[in-house]
Structure 1
Amino acid sequence: MMKKFLFYVISVLMLAACSDDTPGLTPAEKNERTILAYLAANNNLDGYIQQNVIWMYQGLARQKKQSTLVIYYKPSSSNPSIRQAEILVYKTDGYGNINNQPALADSLQNFRNIVAQADVHTAIAGVSTDAAVMEANLKEMQTIAPALSYGLLFGSHATGWLEGEPVHNSGISTFSIGVDGVYVINLPEFAQTMERSFSNSTLDYIAFDACMMGTTEVCYELRNATHYCLVSAMETPADGIPYHRLMDDLFSANVNWTSVCSNIISYNRSEGLWGTFAAVDCTKMEELAEAVKNQLTTHIEELNALDYTTIQQFGVTSSYASDFKYFSFDVAEVIKALNGGSLPQDFKQILDETVVAQDCIDTFNQWPYDIITDKDKFCGIGMYLPTLVNRSWNNYYRSSIAWYKAAGWDSVAASAGN
């Protein structure tokens, strides 16, 4: 009799443990989105990128769904917590536990402790900006954490579409996309690497925690690699993206890009920093290219007479930074200038469909990042003017950047005899 009674009690307890009325013991819903972070930190940003990882961890710990964050981290030689490139995996159960342990208390959330809590995988060795190494590691990260869709956080130095040069050269120092020691990767090769690394349109977005990526040239090159790009038209503060404020949105199947841009700019403003950010629908870039081409070829006379020094541009020139002035101009302001100061409605429509969210700070007044003083002159995305600006970049731009022909600059150049 006693055995039957004990069996009855145990059965009741087991049923209660499996009940939906006990949320603490019920598996949380699983996120469809996995976030990957590719952090090329073998440079002077390593300390800042470590803080970015802490913010990612904090945002992950607050998730109310089972969620996975996979980080590729290539450290500098001075990093005491990671000695070589590693893949760090973090999974939350949606109830405050990460990798089957309680999330670290606030006072313990430093980079060393967060690395120690990771499920660590040795990364494919090599230069993190080498296309083959990048592809191999991104594919390995997907093998470790299969998902229906991915968001990619890319953290490093960058200079957008500009051709990369070894960073130890004197004079202008351009990074293109990513820096590993003195090694970089250029935009066309980066885009091709992204296309090879993700199949079946699984890469929903790339969030660039990197400078000067908010251009038509970048987003057009990536049109077959990802749906959205989160980008800055300007150089970005070294602090980086405040991930602790964004992870809810970034894990969402339908990212609220307005909220993302607003949160980044709100953080920068609260810290006394500058900033621009925009979300671009890369699937609309061919339509935008056609719209720009129509405007340029229709207004060749006005374009040739345009005083580009009066147009809102996004490049910084300073005594301690390279000369990027005039590498990119606000797209809407250029088209307005060709149309007597007004933006044609059909062009505005496609621009609004392409740049789905944007925000900026126009009150920052400390040189050299005080170049935006009017929000109305920021549409979210810039482009170069290769037939007007005479810089050493032009040969590379004409020969290597797909936007050059897509937007009709080759036709403009031919009509001008250039």
Structure 2
Amino acid sequence: MKKLFLYIVSLFILAGCSDEIPEHERPVQSKRAILAYLIANNNLDTDIMNNVVWMYESLAESQDSCSLAIYYKPSSSNNYIEEAQILTFFTDGHGQINGQPALEGSEMTTGNVVEQALKYAAIPGTATDTEVMQANLQAMTDLIPAENYGLIFGSHATSWMPAAGTDIATKSFGQDGTVYNSINIPELADVLEQTFPGNLDFVLFDACMMQTAEVCYELRHATHYCIASVLETPVEGFPYHLILDDLYQEDIDFDKLCEDVINFNKSETEGKWGTYAVVDCEQMDTFASAVKDQIDQHASALENLSLHSIQQYGIKSFSYFSFDVADIIRQLNGGEVPTSFQQILDQTVLAKSCITNHSVFRVDEDRYCGMGMYIPDAVPGNTRWNDYYRSAISWYQAVWSE
């Protein structure tokens, strides 16, 4: 009943501002459209707002026609957006955005970018609520009908770990107002499967710690590619002014994408860090079988494995939530990754790049495979993590359950 109500509300909202939509009967685009679901009702609002400007900057320089829809949930201190809105931008590839000359130079301010957007009231409610998220994503696809989509998620995140932790403020994905307003990854995957019936080309997580086997396995039926970081991410976010145009291409150069993000982080300030990778989620069933085979073959070695010997990606409170998958296999095999496993890994992790320096520990590039995973009971005192991992995470059932 709640879903039906939200759908009816969305129809009224879109109908109420349909006179603002150019070419209201917009044909379905053959070119990929990009959607961004940005939950900025937190301390990232300023940085995420700047990401919107970067996205606009890329559209302004594009030599092709592109469509972009942004769901934006602002904080109360945002000076440009008072409540959740959907912002849309259409560029013709000839210097026009939404039928107006594209902003440039000193005119490209946050206020002017928001002003030039075609704006629609978003479906109200908590941005991480499953029904609200699905209704808003559906509204965005109604505004920009296309054969295929790419989806950017921006907010706080903590990967597979359950949201609303009391001892540690885990967020899974998203933070709308408080640490408790988040969405767990299995529920997020369900929303995407229901909203995008086989036409979601990629999900890009501009959020911390999302490139784990647990996340990618949950998304295997929802999207083709997952672009994310296994480590914490800098607050500035992805450099959309440099990479957004590449995300519209039919065949994305993922190696270039990862390198461009890393090079941007290197150029910003000394001490900036980053790990970025692209995973083919459609390979995750095969990859899970390969990991399970290795674990089954080396069960006795696993019992005696020193967790301190494996490269891991958790910082401070999140220590040991994620170990490098290939490094686990390497340690189980006496220091070498079997060729057969490496071949499957190469078919799954399509691109990766990293900066070795981090404020807490150093990432060993030779042991960085692009994707991490949890080892059950690696944090023995946290029964909440371990119980949730066994009961809710599909990767556990596929790899560890026996």
**How high is the TM-score relative to the length of structure 2?**
0.90
How many angstroms does 1:389 deviate by?
A: 3.8
Aligned to 1:206: 203
Aligned to 1:4: none
Are the counterparts in 2 of residues 31 and 67 from structure 1 also a CA contact under 8 Å?
A: no
**Equivalent residue letter for 1:184:** S
Aligned to 2:14: none
| Rounded Cα–Cα distance in structure 2 between residues aligned with 1:259 and 1:39 | 24
| Rounded Cα–Cα distance in structure 2 between residues aligned with 1:389 and 1:350 | 28
**Equivalent residue letter for 1:174:** T
SS at match of 2:152: strand
Give the unaligned 5+ runs of structure 1. 1-29, 318-322, 412-418
CA deviation map 1:90-127 (0-9, x unaligned) = 00011011001111122121221111001111111111
| Rounded Cα–Cα distance in structure 2 between residues aligned with 1:109 and 1:176 | 34
Aligned to 2:401: 410
Are the counterparts in 1 of residues 239 and 261 from structure 2 also a CA contact under 8 Å?
A: yes
| Rounded Cα–Cα distance in structure 1 between residues aligned with 2:308 and 2:99 | 57
Q: Verify: 1:63 aligned to 2:62, yes or no.
A: yes
Q: 1:187 aligns with which of 185, 188, 211?
A: 185
Are the counterparts in 1 of residues 30 and 147 from structure 2 also a CA contact under 8 Å?
A: no
| Rounded Cα–Cα distance in structure 1 between residues aligned with 2:315 and 2:240 | 25
CA deviation map 1:186-234 (0-9, x unaligned) = 11111111111111x1100000000000100000000000000001000
CA deviation map 1:343-384 (0-9, x unaligned) = 11110011000000000001x25x32x331x21010000010
| Rounded Cα–Cα distance in structure 2 between residues aligned with 1:106 and 1:185 | 38
Aligned to 1:376: 366
Are the counterparts in 2 of residues 49 and 155 from structure 1 also a CA contact under 8 Å?
A: yes
SS at match of 2:221: coil
| Rounded Cα–Cα distance in structure 2 between residues aligned with 1:251 and 1:391 | 45
How many angstroms does 1:248 deviate by?
A: 2.0
CA deviation map 1:29-67 (0-9, x unaligned) = x87010100001111100000010011011111111111
Are the counterparts in 2 of residues 59 and 243 from structure 1 also a CA contact under 8 Å?
A: yes
Aligned to 1:105: 104
**Equivalent residue letter for 1:221:** E
Aligned to 1:291: 290
Aligned to 2:113: 114
Give runs of aligned pairs for residues 73-112 of structure 1, distance below 5 A.
73-112=72-111
Aligned to 1:399: 391
Q: Verify: 1:253 aligned to 2:244, yes or no.
A: no
SS at match of 1:73: strand
Are the counterparts in 2 of residues 31 and 65 from structure 1 also a CA contact under 8 Å?
A: no
Aligned to 1:33: 32
Q: 2:174 aligns with which of 178, 182, 188?
A: 178
| Rounded Cα–Cα distance in structure 2 between residues aligned with 1:398 and 1:257 | 33
Greater alpha carbon shift after TM alignment, 274-283 vs 97-106: 97-106
Are the counterparts in 2 of residues 150 and 205 from structure 1 also a CA contact under 8 Å?
A: yes
Aligned to 2:5: none
**How high is the TM-score relative to the length of structure 1?**
0.86
| Rounded Cα–Cα distance in structure 1 between residues aligned with 2:133 and 2:227 | 20
Aligned to 1:14: none
Aligned to 1:339: 333
The number of aligned residues is 368
How many angstroms does 1:405 deviate by?
A: 1.2
| Rounded Cα–Cα distance in structure 2 between residues aligned with 1:80 and 1:345 | 55
How many angstroms does 1:172 deviate by?
A: 1.3
How many angstroms does 1:151 deviate by?
A: 0.4
Are the counterparts in 2 of residues 313 and 371 from structure 1 also a CA contact under 8 Å?
A: no
SS at match of 1:208: strand
**Equivalent residue letter for 1:297:** D
1:388/1:173 CA distance change after superposition, 3 Å? closer
How many angstroms does 1:388 deviate by?
A: 4.2
Give runs of aligned pairs for residues 190-339 of structure 1, distance below 5 A.
190-199=188-197, 201-272=198-269, 273-317=272-316, 323-339=317-333
Are the counterparts in 2 of residues 92 and 99 from structure 1 also a CA contact under 8 Å?
A: yes
Moved over 3 A (4+): none
| Rounded Cα–Cα distance in structure 2 between residues aligned with 1:381 and 1:105 | 39
**Which one has a bigger Cα radius of gyration?**
1
Give runs of aligned pairs for residues 95-174 of structure 1, distance below 5 A.
95-165=94-164, 169=166, 171-174=167-170
| Rounded Cα–Cα distance in structure 2 between residues aligned with 1:292 and 1:162 | 20
**Equivalent residue letter for 1:208:** F
**Equivalent residue letter for 1:396:** Y
| Rounded Cα–Cα distance in structure 2 between residues aligned with 1:154 and 1:87 | 14
Identical aligned residues as a percent: 51
| Rounded Cα–Cα distance in structure 2 between residues aligned with 1:122 and 1:383 | 39
| Rounded Cα–Cα distance in structure 1 between residues aligned with 2:102 and 2:381 | 51
SS at match of 1:352: helix
Give the unaligned 5+ runs of structure 2. 1-28
Are the counterparts in 2 of residues 314 and 371 from structure 1 also a CA contact under 8 Å?
A: no
